[in-house]
Chain A
Amino acid sequence: MTHYAMVIDTKLCIGCCDCVVACKTENKVPVGLNRDWVVEATQGTYPNLSTEFRSERCNHCSNATCVTMCPTGASHYWNGSNIVLVDPNKCTGCKACIAACPYDARLIMHPGGYIDKCTFCSHRVEKGLDPACVSTCPTRCMHFGQLDDPSSTVSQLLKSRKYKVLNPETGNQPNVYYLI
């Protein structure tokens, strides 16, 4: 299977949230809804501090509990890759997938009623483009590519840098990596 991953360098991320706006406009995400978001984590006491910014979204888990829980197959893996998509025409709005996502990455399309989430911009990926957020990020701290290609930037970065994923304990095997 094609193994897509996003690698985000927290050492360069400035928390500007351009990725959030880029997603909103590119994907025409309805007002008030978000597919991605930015977290600021500050540790320590003044003046001994460190701040980490994280641009977060669906992790396109290799073991996606949202997919296993979906009763209709609406939540599915795209083209035998780890990109998880929702087919609105199969979605009943039972919301099992929302409860099943340990990263709270899913949302209900209002007033549409079906479920939506980050698609890793599969509509761009299939054209060989980077996702909108990645191609907009002004610090170029976001990278997208295939982990099964050892020469890809993402593979190289994960080889050469320290990194983490969010809550590995979930067992979902998330595919958004954070360089630290």
Chain B
Amino acid sequence: MLEQLLVSARSNPHVDPIISVWGWEISVYLFLGGLTAGIMFFSALMMILKKDEQAPFAVNGLSLLGPVVLSMGMTTLFLDLSHPLFVWRFYTTFEPTSPMSYGAWILVLFYPVSILQVLSTFRSGYGLLASLVDGFPLVGTVLDWAERYRRAIAWLALPIAVGLGIYTGILLSAFSARPFWNTGLLGPLFLVSGLSTGAALTALIARRHSERRLFTLIDAGLIVVELIVVALLLVNLSTGAALQLEAAGKLLGGSYTVAFWGVFIALGLLLPLILEYFEIRGMARRLAILAPVLVLVGGYVLRVIAVDLGQETTWTHYTSEFNTQLLDRLR
């Protein structure tokens, strides 16, 4: 037998016995980040495709959710910082090798563009609100200006949306130290999932039936793609190195099986897919709202699994000789 024992009591918080530096804050942030990408993507796309008639909410109303949702995500991200007073340090440098640095700078692009997006559809999307502010000098001119360039703004938003979507996936997969994250498929998976949740949210809120149907259709397609990516990911893991196998094991028949198969795959992808099928076929209307809700839940659960399981896959497997809880007597 091989006994690998820590003979000096080591209990660095969030590092021992296994890395657990990131909790719900990061899962929520990644989820909302992906969702925002979807939101921005579709609001811009529909604008460019001139779908004003078929998808009025996506074109005029959706974009406002972008900055709102992302700001919620930024809040949880901030909550996660253990040295928060120095948060401004993200912006005193650009670190080309650090995805987080990209993440920080993408925001600088995101917010102005998404605000312009909102302005460019403010009157059409939120007429009541608009009428309140329209009176003010300047506001009117700004809105006029934004509306004139609404399509150009949309073209600007599109790549940013995609960038944001990819980033939320790359962030984790760039960690070579965490074999479960360190796969080329996590990025695409998060991107697709982000778009899917974006579509689902639109389908959920949109009033006009044609629009709901359109986004249900889009979401169904994205779910199919997502299922394929998941399959590839599993194949990739189970044919990988020892540590990836360990991770696969936790998914296929371990601590994460229920969350992964039960919640994410079954409830978060398959069931909504079926429901959406009926929706598209024009049946079972009353269940209509259920599908998008499930997609959103599934999207969040995916982030939770990824964040937690990733931290569990570690290179060092030491057991501690001592019951480190005893050290609480010092704290």
Contact = CB atoms under 8 A, between A and B. Distances in A.
The reply, when asked whether chain A contacts chain B directly with Cβ atoms under 8 A, is yes
B95 A73 contact: yes
B95 A70 contact: yes
A93 B82 contact: yes
B138 interface: no
A31 B330 contact: yes
A141 interface: no
Q: Is the interface of B mostly helix, strand, loop or mixed?
A: loop
Contact of A99 (B10, B81, B175): B175
A72 B93 contact: yes
A70 B12 contact: no
Nearest to A44: B1
B8 A102 contact: no
A41 B2 contact: yes
A44 B1 CA distance: 5
Size bracket, chain A contacts? 35 or more
A106 B82 CA distance: 14
Contacts of A114: 82-83, 86
A102 B176 contact: yes
B177 A94 contact: no
Nearest to A53: B7
B4 A41 contact: yes
A92 B81 contact: yes
A66 to B, nearest CB: 8
Interface string A101-112: 111101110101
A167 B316 CA distance: 9
Given A37-B8, A65-B177, A170-B177, A94 B100 contact: yes
Contact of B81 (A36, A94, A98): A94
A127 to B, nearest CB: 27
Nearest to B310: A99
A37 B320 CA distance: 11
Contacts of A150: none
Nearest to A110: B13
B174 interface: yes
Contacts of B13: 32, 107-108, 110
A138 interface: no
Contact of B84 (A15, A70, A92, A101): A92
Interface string B2-21: 11111110111111100101
A40 interface: yes
A89 interface: yes
Contacts of B7: 15, 17, 38-40, 53
Interface in B67-109: 80-84, 86-87, 89-90, 92-93, 95, 97-101, 103-104
Contact of A107 (B15, B103, B316): B15
B15 A92 contact: no
Interface of A is mostly: loop
Contact of B98 (A45, A68, A108): A68
Contacts of A112: 83
28 contacts: A15-B7, A31-B330, A32-B13, A32-B331, A33-B12, A34-B8, A38-B7, A39-B4, A39-B318, A40-B5, A41-B2, A41-B4, A42-B3, A72-B95, A72-B101, A88-B83, A91-B86, A91-B89, A92-B90, A95-B22, A95-B82, A98-B15, A98-B19, A100-B176, A102-B176, A104-B315, A113-B82, A170-B177
Interface in B304-331: 310-311, 314-316, 318, 321, 327, 330-331
A84 interface: no
B212 interface: no
B321 to A, nearest CB: 8
Interface in B3-44: 3-8, 10-16, 19, 21-22
Closest 4 CB pairs of A and B: A93-B82, A93-B83, A71-B100, A102-B177
Nearest to B78: A92
B331 A71 contact: no
Nearest to A114: B83
A95 B97 contact: no
Contacts of B89: 72, 74, 90-92
